[in-house]
Structure 1
């Protein structure tokens, strides 16, 4: 499988792409072409064009969760490539609900009803096999006592306005020859919870690599416990990015192999 970073907070020196504080990755697994998240805007489309990636030929769009730094480009994608009859959109059922933080709208620009008018949409809480080796995890159980304890704003649910614990936060897991590789959006569910569920779903214990946001900002007890957990996993390659602060990454360097992430990064897994 091949992964290319289309959108990240960072861009590499001598790589002339655009950046924004968001996430979008392009994946190829066999003959299947997958887009994971759409960033804030149309930056992912511009960067894809610069990388000679034809988004008109996508088979799947996977959304990690509903926040607008991951879904903001949806309207651009569906307008630009509205004639793609092969496209299936995969997400958790809460992904398209209205979400707010301090009265600021932070949700998808399009509702499920709007998207579903002209597109195939699969909403699922359970794991969904995109290919034989690539799985959308669905809703991730929260088993660690130090993760995912605080709400992130509110959401407009079927029951009305409720605190949003971002239960729609999900991830992808790829089963490779060296172990499993995990692709996250923001890890609101907790990166350790995501790892544990990935192992359970794949029935594999070895984690060979992770890329994506870890949603860790301050070096605190949660970060220390996360670092100890990751150290025990002995993961060869870690690419924490997006919503992972410099201080957190620096603290991880004591014990972990932290790699730099930026627009233009290419990873290949077998």
Structure 2
């Protein structure tokens, strides 16, 4: 019997109506499966901590923190999380220091002018001081049925990332165009098919889904939850993405965060787009 996965939206750009949680332009999910507790992304601020407290979710006993990529709206909450765990240690409160899983490029400085760094404000060196760290380009199985996909192969030309004014500063300070190779996702094997959990899908949701099927050995996709990075979508890309998603016969598409209203409306013609906001609870 495949373990159940539950997902609670701690942070999104939106909040569900009549749920008085904090929203911000960021993303953070809380997952539970196979007796493991996982924080997927930390949003921009301490909003995920405040919302978790209101939801009566204990973040002092996390097993893993998984980062989808290094941008500040997904890693900014690491500093409040470190303070939260530090204060627990000072006060003698029972807690666990989670393992952090991400791509090896996650903590390199990322430049997008006029911002000299729109990536993590914490260096890899500092993160390693605070957490046990697993930085991997290869898939990392967190449980028997939940996997961090690592570096996503880019196969669909219509999902090609143009770096524009984005640059990444590698070790030694060498800058190069930032193709956002650190962008990754989670995939969960449910009894009904795969659940894909994304941060921003800079790698392209079609690329991510194709790779998840390969890694998990399962063609069926039941749900996709997360950002699709379709903010000012090119109509041709939306059409090709919609056609790809339509062929999946999804039960739901929970598109959020960096997915514009125009993109959601367009994609709703291809698959069942569902509302997302802080406070949403999903189970598979």
The alignment's TM-score, normalised by the length of structure 2, stands at: 0.93
Cα–Cα, structure 1 residues 85 and 14, in superposed 2: closer, same or farther, change >3 Å?
closer
- Aligned mate of 1:252, from 262, 267, 271: 267
Query: Deviations 1:5-44 (Å, cap 9, x if unpaired)?
Result: 0000000111010000100000000211000000000000
Can you give the 5+ residue segments of structure 1 that lack an aligned partner in the other structure?
none
One of 200, 205, 209 as aligned partner of 1:195: 209
8 Å contact from structure 1 (residues 127, 138) kept in 2: yes
Q: Which residue of 1 aligns with 2:253?
A: 238
Q: Is the 8 A contact 1:23 1:39 kept in 2?
A: yes
Aligned to 2:171: 158
Structure 2 match to 1:11: 15
Q: 1:144 aligns with which of 148, 151, 156?
A: 156
Q: 2:111 maps to what in 1?
A: 100
Distance 2:6 2:161 in 1: 34
- Is 1:216 aligned with 2:230? yes
Where 1:117 maps in the other structure, the secondary structure is helix
TM-score when scaled to structure 1? 0.97
Separation of aligned partners in 2, 1:241 and 1:118 = 30
Distance across 2 between alignment mates of 1:260 and 1:109? 31
- Alignment-derived partner of residue 30 in structure 1: 34
Size of the alignment, in residue pairs?
269
* Counterpart Cα distance in 2 of 1:101 and 1:122: 26
What is the rounded CA distance, in whole Å, between the counterparts of 1:64 and 1:185 in structure 2?
5
Q: Who is 1:127 aligned against?
A: 139
Residue 147 of structure 2 aligns to a residue in which SS? Answer: strand
Distance in 1 between residues matched to 2:69 and 2:272, nearest whole Å: 27
Per-residue CA deviation, residues 35-80 of structure 1 (Å, 9 max, x unaligned), is 0000000000000000001111101000000000000000110111
Q: Is the 8 A contact 1:238 1:257 kept in 2?
A: yes
Does 139-148 or 80-89 show the bigger shift? Answer: 80-89
Q: Secondary structure at the match of 1:26?
A: strand
Match status 1:47 vs 2:61: no
